[in-house]
Amino acid sequence: MAPLSFSSRNLFSLFHKPRVIPFEYLGQHSSALYSTHIVGDTPILVRDFIHKALYDPNVGYFSQKSASVGVLDRSIKFNQLQGRKAYMKHLDKIYKQSDVSWFTPVELFKPWYAHGIAEAILRTTNLSVPLKIYEIGGGSGTCAKGILDYIKLNAPTRVYDNISYTSVEISSSLAAKQIQTVGEVDSHLSKFRVERRDAADRRGWGDVNEQPCWVIMLEVLDNLPHDLIYSENQMSPWMEVWVESKEGEKLSELYRPIQDSLIKSCMEIVHMPDATAGGSRVSSAVKSIWAKVFPKPRWCWLPTGCLKLLEVLHGALSKMSLIASDFSYLPDVKIPGERAPLVSTKKDGSSSDYNSYLDAKGDADIFFPTDFLLLEQMDHYCSGWMKQQKDDTSLKRGKKRRTLSLGTAAFMEEFGLPTKTRTKDGYNPLLDDFKNNKFYLSVPTHNIK
């Protein structure tokens, strides 16, 4: 995607927020990680460092933020605004009055954002069976209420009467807010519930659910923990990166051979073999000389948190359909590496970015772009299809998932009502200002063998 303009960068900073308090990460190195310091005496993987920097109850960024998820008192009347200038002026006024750091897109464009998602679900699902929806990280409940409103008004009565909507939420304060928001319509409450638990903990899902259902994740992926791998040059093998503490508060990276199972799985999905393997002897010799003359270190960020969550969801909900929305591109990233995060802090209304993720010690947000092609590959991998292909290449099996990625504008033009977010002069912030945001849809096929 082409770089965003300066104005779009400002809009991105304005709209982005810590949307949810995600799950406590249950990686295999999770023991003794949650002390009052970001890094204790024992080195930790980068994903665990990121989790602590964001979510530690004592020193984490989200735990220290006083402002909760922003909620608008009323929907914005876009049709009454003249154009972009009037819209930005209105936004500035809202932020000053609300005293919160961020608003989510589903909040800024309520109810139309949620209505588009509801329409996509209704068009894709089998309405002959009861509709069951899970939302991971439901924020203030605006999405849930919008979807239930839309289904009540636009779907057959039996669909609304039999719907089940479950929010999986780790934050007690947000869980209470969701019930309050959804409860504005009395009939919704009997169909809605909040489960206070970790979405990535397989135990919380109980026995395998064979019934069709939907899982919604709006801007959840970008704050999930990632791992970092490093290679000294073009010929050196990849190493997993750990973070260690030296001289008290000074943090540094420690490189070890790849051993972690989640990192190995991610590398397998991305097709990242050892850098010294494969190729002819001549080409390897040329690469070796080139690496010695022009050594170039390499970094690569792997969405191991997303992989862990998808593994759990596919294992618990065998016939789930998935709809996710997140940022596909982040502007002005200073940190090196493919899929590198933006590490940003906000003070006195202005944002500033850090040059290193190690500088984030509870005072900065760490958020990643979503590689939607890799997301699709991980989705297929966790469904079992890619593993089948690897285990038995002699059989041509069909994919278990039908997937589709759409930009926000394309998604809303297909499923939403874009005229509702258009200003008088034709400017449409939902379509025009979210060029770096995409939707991902994934539904099961009949290829279950």
Rounded Cα distance, 102 and 95, in Å = 8
Residues in CB range of 335: below 8 A, 6 or more apart = 341, 342, 343, 354, 355, 356, 357
Q: Give the type of residue at 211.
A: Q
Is 52 inside any structural domain?
yes
Rounded Cα distance, 365 and 386, in Å = 34
CATH of the domain at 128: 3.40.50.12710
Q: How many domains does the chain have?
A: 1
Burial bucket for residue 245 (CB in 10 Å: 0-12, 13-18, 19+): middle
By the 8 A CB rule, do 201 and 22 touch? no
Rounded Cα distance, 273 and 279, in Å = 12
The whole-number pLDDT of residue 33 equals 33
Is 3 inside any structural domain?
no
Is 98 inside any structural domain?
no
Is 178 inside any structural domain?
yes
Is 59 inside any structural domain?
yes
Q: Which domain holds residue 169?
A: 44-72+116-271+288-400
Is 125 inside any structural domain?
yes
Is 16 inside any structural domain?
no
Q: Is the pLDDT of residue 382 over 60?
A: yes
Q: Which of 130-144, 156-170, 358-372 has the lowest mean pLDDT?
A: 358-372
Q: Which residue has the higher pLDDT, 322 or 387?
A: 322
Is 370 inside any structural domain?
yes
Q: Which of 25-29, 57-61, 165-169, 293-297 has the lowest mean pLDDT?
A: 25-29
Q: Is the pLDDT of residue 365 over 70?
A: yes
SS3 217: strand
Rounded Cα distance, 335 and 368, in Å = 11
List the strands of the sheet with 192-196, edge to edge. Answer: 192-196, 164-169, 132-136, 213-218, 320-327, 437-444, 401-407
The whole-number pLDDT of residue 170 equals 81
pLDDT in tens, 181-238: 999 999 999 999 999 988 989 999 999 999 999 999 999 999 899 999 999 987 889 9
Whose tokens are 């003070």? That residue is 347
Question: What φ, ψ does residue 267 adopt, rounded to 5°?
Answer: -65, -35
Q: Which residue has the higher pLDDT, 443 or 104?
A: 443
